[in-house]
Amino acid sequence: MARIPAAERRAELVAAAVRMIAAHGVEGATTRRIAQEANAPLATLHYCFASKEVLFAAVFEHVGQQYREVLTSNDIHGDMPTTARALLRGLLEWYVVNPEFGAATVELISWAQRQEGEQGQTVYNDAFATMRAILGAGAAAAGQPVDGTIIDELTYIVSVLSDGFALNWLVFTKRTAAEPQIELTVGVLDAWMATHLGDSSGSVAQPSTDSPEPTLRSLVSWVSVD
C-alpha cells in the first residue's frame, strides 16, 4: 500500500474532525472517532498531532481558511454594494451546500468561548479583515469614497445575516425553503444599503404587491411549532 504523505494525512484528519464535531459536538469528537472517520490508525493521528488541542488548533485554522476562500471566490470586483450582495449570497449558498461545516463552526466557536481562548475571535477577525479589504477595493475601483465606519458596519451586517441564516438552516434544513430565505436575507442587506449608501446600492428588492400575507406565510411555512 502506498504511503500517504504526512500533509495529506493531516488534511484528512482535520476534515474528519470537522465532520465528527458537526455530528457529535466538540466533546463527542474523540480522537478515536476522528481516526476511524479518516480511515486512519489512532497512532497515526497522535503522530500527526501531539494532542487534541493541537488538532483543534488546526481545525480552527482550516475553518478560517475555508471562510476566507468562500469570500474571495465570491469577490466579483464590482462596486461596494454589488460586491457586498455577492459576498452575502455566496456565504448563504455555501452554508446550504455545506451544513456540516456550519454545524462544526457553531460548535467550535461555542467551545472556544467556554475555554476563554481567542481562537473564535481570531476566526472572526480574519474573516472581517478579508471582507473589509474586498469591500474597500470595490469602493475604490468604482471611485466611490466611503467612510471606513460604513465599511465596518457593512462587514458586520453581512456577517450577522450570514450567521443567522446558517443557524436557522441547521435547525430546519428544508431545501425548498432555502432559496426564498436567501432572497429575503439579501433583501435585508439591500434595505440597509439603500438607507446608508443611497442610490449607489443599486436596485433594492421591493415587497410584492400581490397579497403580502400569503407571501409572508410561504417564507415562514417551514417553521413548525407542533
113 and 45 in a single domain? The answer is: no
Q: What is the CATH number of the domain that holds 189?
A: 1.10.357
Q: What is the pLDDT of residue 165?
A: 94
HSE-CB for 187 with a 13 A CA cutoff: 11
User: Contact 21/10 with Cβ under 8 angstroms?
Assistant: no
Same-domain status, 101 and 161: yes
Report the pLDDT averaged over residues 43-65. 92
Q: What is the pLDDT of residues 71-83, one digit of tens each?
A: 999 999 989 999 9
On whether residue 224 sits in a domain, the answer given is no
Question: 24 and 122: one domain?
Answer: no
Q: Indicate which CATH number applies to the domain containing 12.
A: 1.10.10.60
Whether 173 has a pLDDT exceeding 90, the answer reads no
Total domain count, the chain? 2
Q: What is the DSSP letter of 205?
A: P
Q: Does position 100 have pLDDT exceeding 80, yes or no?
A: yes
Looking at per-residue pLDDT, the higher value among 131 and 197 belongs to: 131
117 in the same domain as 13? no
Contacts within 8 Å (CB) and 24+ apart, 165-174: 165/92, 165/95, 166/92, 166/95, 166/102, 166/105, 166/106, 167/102, 167/106, 169/95, 169/96, 169/99, 169/102, 170/99, 170/102, 170/103, 170/106, 172/222, 172/223, 173/99, 174/222
**In-domain check, residue 117:** yes
Are residue 46 and residue 104 in the same domain, yes or no? Answer: no
Mean pLDDT of all residues in the chain? 85
On whether both 177 and 76 belong to a single domain, the answer is yes
**Of 27, 50, 73, which one is at a domain's C-terminal end?**
50
Band (pLDDT 50/70/90 cuts) for residue 131 is very high
Indicate whether 226 pLDDT > 70.
Answer: no
Quote the pLDDT of residue 151. 93
Same domain for 181 and 152:
yes
Q: Are 79 and 142 in contact (CB under 8 A)?
A: yes
Residues 27 and 65 in one domain: no
Q: What is the value of pTM for the model shown?
A: 0.81
- What pLDDT band is residue 177 in, cutting at 50, 70 and 90? confident
Q: Is the pLDDT of residue 61 over 60?
A: yes
User: In whole angstroms, how large is the CA radius of gyration of the chain?
Assistant: 20
Q: Where a domain ends, among 50, 74, 89?
A: 50
Mean pLDDT (whole number) for 78-93: 95
Residue 39 covered by a domain: yes
Q: Can you tell me the distance from the alpha carbon of 38 to that of 9, in angstroms, rounded to the nearest whole number? A: 9
Query: Domain check: are 123 and 188 in the same one?
Result: yes
| Inside any domain, residue 226 | no
pLDDT at residue 76 in the model: 92
**Per-residue confidence band for 201, with pLDDT thresholds at 50, 70 and 90:** very low
pLDDT given for residue 2 in this prediction: 53
Residues 100 and 186 placed together within one structural domain of the fold? yes
Range of the structural domain that residue 96 is part of: 53-203
Residues 57 and 22 occupy one common structural domain: no
Q: Does residue 211 form part of some domain? A: no
Residues 136 and 81 in one domain: yes
- Check: CB of residue 138 under 8 Å from CB of residue 83: yes
